[in-house]
Each structure stands twice: as structure tokens, then as C-alpha cells.
Amino acid sequence: MLLRLVNLCKRRGIRLRQTYIRKAPGLLKQQGRYAHARQFKRARRCTKSLHTLLGRVVRDIGRKVTEIDPELQIFLDRAEKLLAQQRKSKKKLYSIDAPEVECISKGKAHKQYEFGCKVSVSTTNQSNWVVGVQALHGNPYDGHTLPGAIEQVQRVTGKTVKEAFVDKGYHGHTYSGDARIHITGQRGRGKAGPALRKRKKRRSAIEPKIGHLKSDNRMDRNFLKGKEGDRINALLAGIGANIRKLLAAFWPALAKYVWIYVFDYWTVLDFRKTQPQNKSAAA
């Protein structure tokens, strides 16, 4: 943030009392090294120094600039928010260029927190086709996202959802439509038949699908700007996953014809090379 403010001032011809462009990057590297070595007192000391330097630059800009343009004002507001936030503050600023980024608690040992936005994924029960993807900002409760997910599936496919299989995070959902909701590990009324038990077991198939959306279809890192960029990236990841399935289904049939075409093309080229040229024959 400090370097961004200094660069913005440089472009506008604002001469600051001190820029700290050499000291700040060194402190940031040192803070990361101390934290990695679990020397947290030294790491906190470096963080406090960075906090102090940023405050000095912000106050210096406020003294020397009378009319602030919109771009500079945006980053000054973000810098003031960064200076004011504490450990237990709500709606923290985690990214300078993407203030919509949120901290999502996963509760997993290997990855306790993730930073970004929550994404709701809907797939078919039998073949695992992606029929609905939504990027949801504000870190909503899973149960509150169910009505929107079912509505999107019905709008995209043109079919009425009769049964939906969800995990335990959807306890206390707010859906009130005609579809029957089956929650993992929850016993329904009466005894479930073998067909229903089989469909319930298929609910866990969405987990590897989400993993493939992240690793193979670039949903884990979004390079598009803003909240609209998050929504577009999630939709494109779902579309790409379906195209991969289509190519996997049709490629064995297409590969045979493509190979024959390529083989015949190179055969024609080789045949032309072996024929004598007209000029040499005439000579």
C-alpha cells in the first residue's frame, strides 16, 4: 500500500517529505522471515514499523494535497481503513486491488482459511454435469444459498428439480419450494429404498468435481476484476468442465478421422516431392 501511494504521488508531481521506498520492502521481507521462523515478537515489531511508515505517508499526502483526484482518494481511503482495522475488526481489507476479498473459515487442518468468495456448485446426480455455478459475496450461510442455486438450475436446464442432495452445511436452509431436500446423514421419513440410498451416496461425487474445477478449470485463482469478474470466472470454470466432458466423449470417434486426414495430407506432399519437375525434364 505504501509503495502504491508513493507511485501515485510521483505521477502527479507531489513531492513527499520521505517515501521509504527502500526501507519498507526490506521490513516486509524481514517480517515474513521472522514469522516463518516463528519469532512472532520480532515479526510484530516489523509490522508495527510498517504501520508507522504508512501512517506518515498518508498524513504527508493530506498536508500537501488540497484537491485529491478520485483514484488517489480511493487508495487513501483503503490506506486509512488498513490503518484503523484491528485483529477482531469485521470486514477487513485483505487485498489492496480487490477489496471485495473475504476470509472464509474452512475448519480443515491443512487449510484453515481461504481468501476470496464463496462459490455454490450444482451438478447432476448421475453423470456429474455442472448445471449451476454461483459466486456469492458476503460469505453467506450455505443454507441461505439453496433457493438461488435451485432457481438457477431450473432456469439453465428448463427442467423442474424434484430432489436435491446437499451436505450437512445446509441444515436450517430457507428453501420452501416443491423440491425434496435430502441432507447427508439425516434420516428421512420412513425407510429409504435402494434407489434413493444409491442417489444419496452420489452426493459425495461433487467433492472431486469441485477439486477439478479449481485445479483444471482455474477456479482457484481469479484474474478478472471486481465482483462481476468473480461471477464470470466461476461461470467459465463450469462451462469449461462441461466442454472437457464433451471432448472426452467425442474425441475417440473424431480422432480416427483426424488421423486419416493428416496421414493423407502428408502422403500427398511426399508424392509431390518424388515427381520430377517440368523444367528439369525439359532440360
Residue 232 and residue 181 share a domain: yes
Alpha-carbon distance of 103 to 115, in angstroms, equals 5
Let me know if residue 277 belongs to a domain: no
- Reported as a single tens digit per residue, the pLDDT across 208-251 is 999 999 999 989 888 998 899 999 999 999 999 999 999 888 88
Q: Which of 79, 72, 69 is nearest to 99 (CA)?
A: 79
- Reported as a single tens digit per residue, the pLDDT across 144-162 is 999 999 999 999 999 899 9
Q: According to the model, what pLDDT value does residue 19 have? A: 92
Residue 126 and residue 71 share a domain: no
> Checking DSSP bridges between strand 113-116 and strand 102-105, what pairing results, if any?
antiparallel
Residue 138 and residue 226 share a domain: yes
Residues of the chain with pLDDT under 70: 187-191, 256-283
- Contacts of 82 by beta carbon, 8 Å cutoff, 6+ apart: 1, 54, 93
- Contacts of 20 by beta carbon, 8 Å cutoff, 6+ apart: 2, 6, 53, 56, 57
The grid coordinates of residue 264 equal: 493423407
Q: Give the helix/strand (H/E) hosting 121.
A: strand 118-123
Residue type, 219: M
Residue 144 and residue 233 share a domain: yes
Structurally, the chain folds into a number of domains equal to 2
Q: According to the model, what pLDDT value does residue 196 have? A: 84
Residue 123 and residue 193 share a domain: yes
Burial of 69 (0-12, 13-18, 19+ CB in 10 A): exposed
Residue 191 and residue 144 share a domain: yes
* Domain range for 51: 2-84
Let me know if residue 256 belongs to a domain: no
pTM: 0.76
Q: According to the model, what pLDDT value does residue 213 have? A: 92
Q: According to the model, what pLDDT value does residue 282 have? A: 41
Residue 183 and residue 137 share a domain: yes
Let me know if residue 269 belongs to a domain: no
Q: According to the model, what pLDDT value does residue 108 have? A: 77
Residue 51 and residue 124 share a domain: no
Residue 226 and residue 123 share a domain: yes
Q: How far from chain centre, in Å, is Cα 42?
A: 33
Q: According to the model, what pLDDT value does residue 269 have? A: 47
